[in-house]
Structure formats: C-alpha cells, structure tokens
Amino acid sequence: MAQKVINKLRDFPSIEELLQSPKLTSLIASIPRPMSALIVKQVVAELKTNFKTNKKSVTQQEIINHIKERIFVFKRKEISKVINATGVVVHTNLGRAPLSDSLFEAIKKTVVGYGNVEFDLEKGKRGQRGEACEKYLSLLSGAESATVVNNCAAALFITLNSLAPRKNVVISRSELVQIGGGFRIPDILKKSGAKLSEVGSTNITTLTDYENNLDDKTGLILKVHQSNFVQRGFIKQVSLKQLVALGAKNNLPVVNDLGSGVFVSTKDILGCAEPTVQQSVRDGASLTTFSGDKMLGGGQAGLIVGKEKYIKKIKKNPLFRTMRVDKIVFSILEKLLEYYLNDQWQNEIKLWSILSVPEAELYKRGKKILKNLGHPEGISIQATKAYVGGGALPEADIPSIGILFSQQYHADRLLKAFRELTIPIIGRIDNDCFILDLKAIDEYDLPYVIKSIKQTI
C-alpha cells in the first residue's frame, strides 16, 4: 500500500489522529498520555516549520517515525536499571553506591504506608526525626552527637552557616578543591555567609600560616580531604591533630570535611588507606562531614558527627529544615549502620561485596562468558584496572577482568549499541577497543550480558 504523501500544510494529520494511530499505540502507552500529546505536538510543529521552509513533501510514515524516535528518547530519560561495566564502582552518573535487594526488603515495612518517622511511640506525641539513626552514627563514629542532611555539600554548607556566619573560615589553598558537577569548596563557603581566608600555597601550608591568619574575625578552621586527587613532590600539609590543638588554643572549632567518608579500613581490600570517620573523631575534629552514598554504601545523604554543642547549633538553624531527609533515607541509613555495627558490612552492603570479589573469581566469570559465546575471534579476556570512584582513593587501582572486543568490532558502534539495549550496558573504550569490565557487574546479570553480546556483535 502506498504511503500517504503530504504536499500541503492542511494534509498534516491531526494530533488526535496520530495519538490514536495503531502504529504508535504501545509507545504512546509507555509514558503519560499528556506527555505523549506534547511530544506529538512538538514533532508536528517542527515538521510543519521545515515544510514551510524547504517545500519538501513528507510521508505520514515519516511523521510516525519521528514521533517514535522522540518518545523512545524521552522514555530513556526516566531512571531505569543499567548494568555498570565501566570499572568504576561508585559511579556518580550511574547512581553512586549500588544498593542491595536485601536492604530494600529489610526497609520495606518502614517506607510503605505510615511510620513513626517523627512520632514518639513511648510518649504518644511528636518526636525527633531520625533519632535512632543519629544514635547509631554517634556510636559507630565515636562522636558525642550526629545528624543528617540531604547531601555532603549541604552538610558543609549548614555547618559553615551555623558556626561561622560573616566570620572568616581559615583553609589551606591546597584544599580549595572542586567536587563533582563543577561545585567548588570556595563557592559553597561563600554562599554559606562565611568569608574565605586562604592560607599557605598550592603545595606548602604550615602551622604558622594558620596561626598568622587567626584573629577575632575568625569563625572556624576548615580542613578538606583531597579525596579526588593526589599531590606529590615538594608538598607539606598540616595534620588534623595539629589543627585541633591550634583550634583549642584559640577557642575555635575545627571542621574536617572528608567528602566520601568511610567507616572501615580500606587497606586490606583496596591496597590504599582512606582516612576513616572514626579517626577524624579520635583526632579531635569538632565536626566531621561526609557522604552517605559513596564509600558508606547507602543512599544520598550528608552526615555530620562531632561535638554535641555544635550539632545542637546546626539543628537550631532555620535552614536545617530545608535540608532534612525523609523516612526512606533514614530507613536506609538505619539498616546500613546496623550492618556496620553488627560487623556484617562486607556481606550485606553491596558496595563492599562488589569490592571484595577477587580477581580470580572475575576471571572465572570471564571464561564462562567466552565459553557461552563460543570463543569468537577478536573477543578475549583482559586484565584491567577498576576504580572506587565517587571522588575517593584516586590511586587505588583495583585488579579486575574485562571482556575485550578488538578494533574489528568498532568500539564506538559497540558503545552505542550496548547503551541502547532494553537494559543498557555501559562499557568503556580503551585504546580503540571496547571493554566490558566485570568488576561491578552482578553475577545474576551475566546471562543477560551474554545474551546481549550475542545479539550485538
């Protein structure tokens, strides 16, 4: 049957006609109808504009194809499952720390329906939000008190705004770092109402540099962990212990922003030591701030632990309410902290179970994949290096295994093809070869990976 050709503006089908087209039924139903209608209107308007300009006819099937493509692209904007084959375990663009099915099963009863998120069951009246979570945080970190806001940037912001409004915050120039998404520590500091007081140089900062910049306008001393980069060579930094002693001498709080934050020793598992939250507390930091969705292994949150008098001051800040978290975040954090307190973290927290899988096991999985593929030419097992990600341990090269597709498969084509699967598989390109790194791929996803490779190559 010949396709209907549109030679005049009045020949364009109506929006309703297109919305009811049998050729679009399934796609139209895949997103809310008002959104489908909007997309159809936009496509038709664009095609009419092109028609007026170019005077080139268009078929009704071409209109439908444009609509299909636009709806498909929009549908993929919704958050959906992807398989992380990049080799970066805490991948910011892929949701940072992965959460386990068992954790969600454990918290289901507290996040579905009603819960005592802010109700004291003992007294039968309004209670404190997140009380158990804060107690767990204090116990685990060794701090006097703790609280939670919606991310680490917010934790640092509310801390500075509460303790040093219109006051100078003394910080080493080597610690004026930029975190993900282009956010810079100096910008957050200035927006908080505090004033930046830089000391030292890019590579050398001494205790004297801090001492010479303290006066009655100083609100606090800030130390920021260089979590996403490393300085080498002719460098010198002042330790947290030294800053705490200086702060005590001058009656000033010392805040330590760890960025990622971790509760366990990373030396044995990852080969590099990341400073722990507990060590920051033991070294005397007045407050320590860190993230919930990086090396902690949970959902997005900003955690603050430290001296009770400063935590109280933060919670009295009117801005604190704008940053508070809900029952879902508290439920995740409570269960996560229970795993740490019960020494179950390595098995029950998905991030650590992934990081703990040995290279030998990954090699076995790689061999299984090649066997199922029939050992095709140009596809091999490759020793690779994975990374923690999330701005933590930039020098921790984690031994991993990847499925390498040689140049004959055209890496750019494979990168796109795997990304367009029903469940996208996100790999990487290295030396013009496409690699599916196995480090962060769940074992139960391997059958799907094998099937996807077969249909893609």
Residue (of 407, 405, 411) closest to 369 by Cα position? 405
Going by pLDDT thresholds of 50, 70 and 90, the confidence category of residue 1 is: very low
- Contact 152/289 with Cβ under 8 angstroms? yes
Q: What value does the mean pLDDT take over residues 34-38?
A: 96
Instruction: For residues 217 and 213, give the distance between their C-alpha atoms in angstroms, rounded to a whole number.
Output: 10
Taking CA atoms, 363 is separated from 129, 151, 304, 328, 352, in Å, by 46, 37, 40, 37, 19
Render 275-330 in DSSP notation, one character per residue: PPHHHHHHTT-SEEEEESSSTT-SSS-EEEEE-HHHHHHHHHSGGGGGG---HHHH
* Rounded CA separation 457/455 (Å): 6
> pLDDT tens-digit profile of 235-262?
688 899 999 999 999 999 999 999 889 9
Kindly report the length of the chain: 457
Report whether pLDDT(361) > 80.
Answer: yes
What does the pLDDT read at residue 136? 98
Average pLDDT estimate for 392-416? 90
- Which domains does the chain show, CATH number per domain? 5-75 (no CATH), 83-94+353-456 (3.90.1150.180), 101-347 (3.40.640.10)
Q: Mean pLDDT throughout 142-169?
A: 96
At 54 the pLDDT is: 85
Question: Is this structure's pTM higher than 0.75?
Answer: yes
H or E stretch including 221?
strand 218-224
With beta carbons less than 8 A apart as the criterion, state whether 342 and 370 touch. Answer: no
Percent of the chain with pLDDT over 90: 81
273 pLDDT exceeds 90? no
Lowest mean pLDDT among 90-94, 138-142, 205-209, 392-396: 392-396
Query: How crowded is residue 192: how many other Cβ atoms within 10 Å of its Cβ?
Result: 20
SS3 content of the chain, % helix, strand, coil (to 5): 45, 20, 35
What's the confidence (pLDDT) of residue 230? 58
pLDDT, one tens digit per residue, over 306-340 is 999 999 999 999 999 999 999 999 999 999 999 99
Q: Which of 16-25, 53-62, 398-407, 447-456 has the lowest mean pLDDT?
A: 53-62
The whole-chain average pLDDT of the chain stands at 92
Given this model, what pLDDT does residue 5 score? 86
- Model confidence at 229, in pLDDT bands (50, 70, 90)? low
**Taking 90 as the threshold, does the pLDDT of residue 3 lie above it?**
no
pLDDT surpassing 80 at residue 232: no
Mean per-residue pLDDT, 12-33: 93
Pairing of strands 58-59, 5-6: antiparallel
